[in-house]
Structure 1
Amino acid sequence: MAQILVCGHTNIETTLAVEQFPVEYVPMRYPFFGIQTAVAGVGYNIAKALTTLGSRVNFLTMVGDDFFGEQVKHQAKADGISGNYIVANMPQTAQSVILYDKQGKRQGHTDLKDIQERPYPPDLFQQALQDSDLAILCNINYTRPFLALAQQANIPIATDVHTITDLDDDYNRDYMAAATILFMSDERLPLPPEQWAKKVQQTFGTEIIVIGLGAKGALLAVKSDNFCERFPAVQTRAVVNTIGAGDSLFSSFNHFYRKSGDPYTALQKAILFASYKIGTEGAAAGFLTEAALNKLAF
């Protein structure tokens, strides 16, 4: 059985509960059980969600040769993720701090260290690619050279460019041009989502586009049948923190679409999966198994 290649970022994430935004200054707070630290990051979130759902994953990432790097490897093993492609070639592991309020709004602070200047070993990528039938390449610099390699191997690429404002965006254009499955958020779009999706498809010929609409659900555009419609959000439990919601939507869509080839059902299940996930504090927590998700759906 072929695997999904996931190449993307890992960091140590600390979440902090606050009363509200903006945060009022006080010299000291004691948010009992309001501070949690875990392994997360876009790549790790995706790999863990896919693994929890039952997909087989090759996870490629870079961490530091430090205490936190060892913590990542230990947690990956506990989460059923192989450490074969976790490379400790940085002096320090990236870190993030996420503030979130009682309404689930969040503010992220991410320290990438020097990861944007470091390459991931291409021989390890080629090795992982041979066993894979889908390449999820997160939009962090060290995955950029692998877009062409996946295309040359005729392996479909899925990516999420998150907040985007311009089709000629210097950082994200390569990813948008290469993607078979392209996700993004509506937070900063210069056009209504329907118009933007059509513009993306006309420019890049993208087969499948999903635009996350936050509390309003998601938009799906499918090139083969000229489909472009919105799917409403659902609520399965109280919202605690929306961090990682987009990663969970992206992961679960790719899991179900890869199994069924049906993007419509895949997005419906992904919306349900993401709805349940945001009832937890951390970005890499709250993932359901496929069996549990199916029970929730019915």
Structure 2
Amino acid sequence: MKKILISGLTNIETTLQIKGFPLDYNPINYPFFGVNSRVSGVGYNLAKALKKLGSEIDYISLIGADLAGKSVKMTFEEEGLSTDYIIDSLEATPQSVILYDKEGRRQIHTDLKDIQDRVYPEEIFDKLVKKASILCLTNINFSRPFLKKGCELNKVIATDVHTIEDLNDEYNRDFMEYADILFMSDELLPMPPKQWVQKLWDEFGTEIIVIGLGSKGALLAIKEDDFIEVIPAVKTRGVVNTVGAGDSLFSCFVHCYNKEANPYKAIKKAIVFASYKIGATSASEGFLAEEELNQLYKKLNK
């Protein structure tokens, strides 16, 4: 199978279940089994999901040489994920706290520590990129130098800019410019998604665009076919926490596209994958194996 190279954030994620938003003040609560800490982060979520689906991957990331960093490495080893290209050069490992309610709504607080000021060794990327067919370059600063390199090597570049509202967004513009496969959420878009796609096509000529629409599904746009349509959501089980839904949609799409280069089929399977995933508490839980996904996909498409 063709290999996927992932560059992204690894952190320690703590989830806290609350009664609802807005959160009223009171001095102390005892949410038994409502507080959980796990390894997470966009890059890790992609690596774990892609491995569960059966993709062959390499994963590059930065962490700290602290207790949290040791937990990261131990978790990777337990799950059979390689730590060969995870560099512990940060002052501390990034962490996040996520509040979520029984309706699946969530609020994320992310502390990136000093990761945005650090670089990843380019010689390692230069070695790994030769074996990769798709580069999943998540929008963290240390991924930025790899965009141009991947383009020059004619590699397919896939990225997710998450919540975006401006084509000239200083932080995300080069990720959007270099992407062959571009994912984002509709949460902050300044106009209807179909109009936004036209602006992206006019500005960047992006070949494949996917806009997550939450409970409505996802919009798929294929420039070559002049195709822009909403692919509706499906329900596979009850919603527990929607955090990580976008990561799961992205990872499954990349896995399927890497195998068959069929974006229409890839998005339909990705929607099933993401629907099942949000029945779990953490962003890094609830991933289906490929055989499980295929069975569920066939069941829903009889």
Corresponding residue of 1:12: 12
Corresponding residue of 2:188: 188
Equivalent pair of 1:207/1:224 in contact (CA under 8 Å): yes
Corresponding residue of 2:87: 87
- Aligned-CA RMSD value: 0.8
| Unmatched tracts of structure 1, length 5 or more | none
Residue 2 of structure 1 deviates from its aligned partner by 3.4
CA distance in structure 2 between the aligned counterparts of 1:170 and 1:91, rounded to whole angstroms: 26
CA distance in structure 2 between the aligned counterparts of 1:186 and 1:60, rounded to whole angstroms: 28
Corresponding residue of 2:208: 208
Residue 295 of structure 1 deviates from its aligned partner by 1.4
Q: Which moved more, 1:80-89 or 1:5-14?
A: 80-89
Corresponding residue of 1:23: 23
CA distance in structure 2 between the aligned counterparts of 1:62 and 1:42, rounded to whole angstroms: 12
CA distance in structure 2 between the aligned counterparts of 1:202 and 1:220, rounded to whole angstroms: 16
Residue 24 of structure 1 deviates from its aligned partner by 1.2
CA distance in structure 1 between the aligned counterparts of 2:218 and 2:137, rounded to whole angstroms: 21
Corresponding residue of 1:99: 99
CA distance in structure 2 between the aligned counterparts of 1:114 and 1:83, rounded to whole angstroms: 20
Q: Deviations over 1:246-270 (max 9, x none)?
A: 0000000010011111111100000
Q: Report matched runs for 1:32-181 at 5 Å.
A: 32-181=32-181
Residue 90 of structure 1 deviates from its aligned partner by 0.8
Residue 80 of structure 1 deviates from its aligned partner by 2.3
Corresponding residue of 2:243: 243
Q: Which moved more, 1:70-79 or 1:223-232?
A: 70-79
Corresponding residue of 1:267: 267
Equivalent pair of 1:51/1:80 in contact (CA under 8 Å): no
Residue 239 of structure 1 deviates from its aligned partner by 0.4
Residue 294 of structure 1 deviates from its aligned partner by 1.2
Residue 79 of structure 1 deviates from its aligned partner by 2.0
SS in 2 for 1:74: helix
| Unmatched tracts of structure 2, length 5 or more | none
Equivalent pair of 2:186/2:211 in contact (CA under 8 Å): yes
Equivalent pair of 2:2/2:259 in contact (CA under 8 Å): no
Equivalent pair of 2:103/2:239 in contact (CA under 8 Å): yes
Equivalent pair of 2:17/2:101 in contact (CA under 8 Å): yes
CA distance in structure 2 between the aligned counterparts of 1:71 and 1:59, rounded to whole angstroms: 17
Equivalent pair of 1:103/1:240 in contact (CA under 8 Å): yes
Residue 155 of structure 1 deviates from its aligned partner by 0.7
Identity of aligned residues (%): 57
Residue 199 of structure 1 deviates from its aligned partner by 1.1
| TM-score relative to the length of structure 1 | 0.99
SS in 2 for 1:269: helix
CA distance in structure 2 between the aligned counterparts of 1:31 and 1:186, rounded to whole angstroms: 32
SS in 1 for 2:163: coil
Residue 17 of structure 1 deviates from its aligned partner by 0.2
Q: Which moved more, 1:245-254 or 1:68-77?
A: 68-77
Shift in alpha-carbon separation, 1:2–1:266, aligned structure 2, 3 A: closer
CA distance in structure 2 between the aligned counterparts of 1:261 and 1:135, rounded to whole angstroms: 15
Q: Deviations over 1:161-186 (max 9, x none)?
A: 00111111100000000000000000
Equivalent pair of 1:57/1:81 in contact (CA under 8 Å): no
Equivalent pair of 1:208/1:222 in contact (CA under 8 Å): yes
Equivalent pair of 2:161/2:176 in contact (CA under 8 Å): yes
Residue 109 of structure 1 deviates from its aligned partner by 0.4
Q: Which moved more, 1:189-198 or 1:76-85?
A: 76-85
SS in 2 for 1:96: strand
SS in 1 for 2:235: coil
Q: Deviations over 1:197-227 (max 9, x none)?
A: 1110111010000000001100000011100
CA distance in structure 2 between the aligned counterparts of 1:78 and 1:256, rounded to whole angstroms: 26
CA distance in structure 1 between the aligned counterparts of 2:90 and 2:248, rounded to whole angstroms: 27
SS in 2 for 1:255: helix
CA distance in structure 2 between the aligned counterparts of 1:103 and 1:216, rounded to whole angstroms: 16
Residue 242 of structure 1 deviates from its aligned partner by 0.4
Residue 74 of structure 1 deviates from its aligned partner by 1.3
Corresponding residue of 1:294: 294
CA distance in structure 2 between the aligned counterparts of 1:100 and 1:71, rounded to whole angstroms: 24
